[in-house]
Amino acid sequence: MMWTELHARLVAEAFEKVLGRPDQGAMAFVRCLTPDVVEALATDPAFAPSDWKVWRVADAADTKARTITADRAVELRESKDEAVLLLVDTARAGAGMDSIYSAAREVDEKSLFDQARGLARHEVTSCLSRESRVFAERAIKKAQGLGHRFSVSPWTEFDFLVRTAAELRHPGEFLYLLGLWPVKQDHEANPDDGLNDSLRFVDRLLGTAVAGLTPAQRIEALKLLNASDEQKTDLERFLRSAATKPLLVALAGLTNKTHLWVNALRIEGGDQLIQSIELVPWRTNTRRITKWSGLKLRRGDDDDDPPMLVLKPDADKTGDYPKLEIRWKVRPDNLAEGAVEYRVVIVTDMDEELASREVPHVGKKEEKCRFTNRCQSGCLGHRQ
């Protein structure tokens, strides 16, 4: 953990806002902070909530480090001499705190970090810009998004914002703290595109879904745009090193590798034209007709004979509407949803148009369009 004075100062202000001005002999405690944060706060003179005497509770006393034992904490509660805020090191405080937990006021995690994160966001705006703060907020939401495997704790969010403000650097440089790939600042690029690519880099290079692929295969699947040989080599070396590390530790290894950050590395993006369309065959590798196609062979036909779609005239009565489905893949494979619209047409061998549909791009692994003889768009009538 990289600690700064700003961490201590903003946490102190957050405690002041939550606790307010204390009465004589008041006691409050917090036990939601991790031991390393508790120790850092206790030893930092900048952590000094107004009108509160701060003590860390651990297994050994050290007045220079503002640390006392649980027995001494109980004595302070009973003496009621001054207002005391106890930072409980839950890993080392030991027994003897139950009487304090039942009698003193607890500062809960939500109340504390609602205030702390608000103060940190303000610092980002003041020290950098509103745009940087908006980017940071969107990054946090992206990291918390459905399907992302890393859980972002309140302290992690706060730490990310504070590091950004304290070091006066673009928040994209600290995305590794959130479990995201670092993003190099580019004033001409769309910030949302950078964050989308950041998550895409993590999922496609470090995600569990690609665990069985070699680093070279992962890089190939990412479809980098005009990456240099040096970038590809260094990226492959990084992935080999990251294979044995936890996600956050692995991503921290990108801190000084700016040539591997998003925007230094670009992928085929949604703002580009479609490069190619590949129809998905109706036949499997064993030459069988796929079930999803809706097509069938006539009894007695060979596997290589053309399949048929039979439309039933009484389907409106029985509800049995046969369907014809077409699937295809496009490159680039990360076009934004709705970026393009396809017109799918079924024609005879004489170029006679039987039916057509217009469908928007949905951004799935495979795009698809379905025709039936139900009376709606894509109706095939009663031909076969």
For 13, 109, 210, 378, the CA distances from 89, given in Å and listed in that order, are 21, 15, 39, 66
Give per-residue pLDDT as tens, 361-373: 888 889 999 988 7
Least confident of 79-88, 181-190, 201-210, 292-301: 292-301
For 198, 211, 224, the CA distances from 228, given in Å and listed in that order, are 19, 25, 10
How large is the average pLDDT for residues 178-194? 90
- 72: tokens are 């001494």
What are residue 76's phi and psi, to 5 degrees?
A: -65, -35
Rounded to whole angstroms, the Cα distance separating 266 from 268 reads: 7
Q: At residue 115, does pLDDT exceed 80? A: yes
Domain borders along the chain are 5-107, 113-260, 276-372
What is the per-residue pLDDT for 146?
Answer: 47
Q: At residue 305, does pLDDT exceed 90? A: no
Give per-residue pLDDT as tens, 19-57: 999 999 999 999 999 999 999 999 999 999 999 999 999
Q: Is the dihedral of CA 147, 153, 158, 160 positive or negative?
A: negative
- 217: tokens are 């295969």
What is the per-residue pLDDT for 380?
Answer: 54
How large is the average pLDDT for residues 129-136? 96
Hey, is 186 helix, strand or coil?
coil
Identify the residue with better confidence: 154 or 80. 154
CB atoms within 10 A of CB 336: 14
How large is the average pLDDT for residues 214-226? 91
DSSP E strand stretches across the chain: 27-30, 53-57, 67-68, 84-88, 105-106, 276-279, 323-331, 341-347, 353-360, 367-372
Identify the residue with better confidence: 1 or 153. 153
Q: At residue 117, does pLDDT exceed 60? A: yes
Which helix H or strand E contains 65, and what residues bound it?
A: none
Give per-residue pLDDT as tens, 229-280: 999 999 999 999 999 999 999 999 999 999 999 999 998 754 556 778 999 9
How large is the average pLDDT for residues 125-145? 93
Q: pLDDT band for position 151 (50/70/90)? A: confident
In the sheet that holds 276-279, the strands lie side by side as 276-279, 323-331, 367-372
Q: At residue 179, does pLDDT exceed 90? A: yes
What is the per-residue pLDDT for 379?
Answer: 53
- 120: tokens are 């940190």
What is the per-residue pLDDT for 286?
Answer: 86
- H helix runs in 207-246, sequence order: 215-222, 229-242
Hey, is 236 helix, strand or coil?
helix
What is the per-residue pLDDT for 376?
Answer: 45
CB atoms within 10 A of CB 330: 19
Mean pLDDT of the chain: 89
What is the per-residue pLDDT for 364?
Answer: 85
Q: pLDDT band for position 313 (50/70/90)? A: confident
How large is the average pLDDT for residues 317-329? 86
CB-CB contact of 137 with 192 (8 Å): no
- 87: tokens are 């930072």
CB-CB contact of 267 with 196 (8 Å): no
What is the per-residue pLDDT for 311?
Answer: 76
Length of the chain: 384
Least confident of 104-118, 186-200, 305-319, 322-336: 305-319
Q: Is the dihedral of CA 200, 203, 205, 206 positive or negative?
A: positive
What is the per-residue pLDDT for 150?
Answer: 61
Q: At residue 190, does pLDDT exceed 90? A: no
Rounded to whole angstroms, the Cα distance separating 150 from 201 reads: 14
How large is the average pLDDT for residues 315-320? 77
Q: At residue 343, does pLDDT exceed 50? A: yes
Q: At residue 337, does pLDDT exceed 90? A: no
What is the per-residue pLDDT for 149?
Answer: 55
For 180, 259, 260, 287, the CA distances from 256, given in Å and listed in that order, are 15, 9, 9, 51
Rounded to whole angstroms, the Cα distance separating 225 from 247 reads: 25
Asked if the bond preceding 360 is cis, omega within 30° of 0, the reply is no
* 3-state secondary structure string across 279-348: ECCCECCCCCECHHHCCECCCCCCCCCCCECCCCCCHHHHCCCCEEEEEEEEECCCCCCCCCEEEEEEEC
What are residue 55's phi and psi, to 5 degrees?
A: -135, 140
Q: At residue 129, does pLDDT exceed 80? A: yes
Q: Residue 212 class from Cβ within 10 Å (0-12 exposed, 13-18 middle, 19+ buried)? A: exposed
What is the per-residue pLDDT for 377?
Answer: 42
